[in-house]
Amino acid sequence: MYQPSPIDTSRVILPPELIALTERLAENAHDVWAVQRIRDGWTHGPMRDDANKKHPCLVPYADLPESEKEYDRKAAMETIKAIMALGYRIAR
């Protein structure tokens, strides 16, 4: 049975400039996902419909429901924290 084992990021505290970066990375993750969906023939639709390749989240990031934005934000933030937990630094 699969037992997920994510990198422990519980002790990582992000500085304010990296917290701000989280939103941009979340938007980028959405755009990367959307580009691939569109390439695969998906279009916007009011409900997810795998058979007809329709998805309600094929909209600009700003138009996503807050719950979807939060999913992307969490993934971005945990990625930044994992990078730092592994001993890397992020600098502009």
Contact between 23 and 14 (Cβ < 8 Å): no
Torsion of CA 17, 19, 24, 30, to 10 degrees: 160
pTM: 0.87
Of 11-20, 26-35, 51-60, 77-86, give the lowest mean pLDDT range: 11-20
Q: Which residues have C-beta within 8 Å of that of residue 75, sequence separation ≥ 6?
A: 26, 29
Angstrom distance (rounded) from CA 27 to CA 25: 5
| Tokens at 91, concatenated | 């600098």
pLDDT in tens, 39-62: 999 999 999 999 999 999 999 999
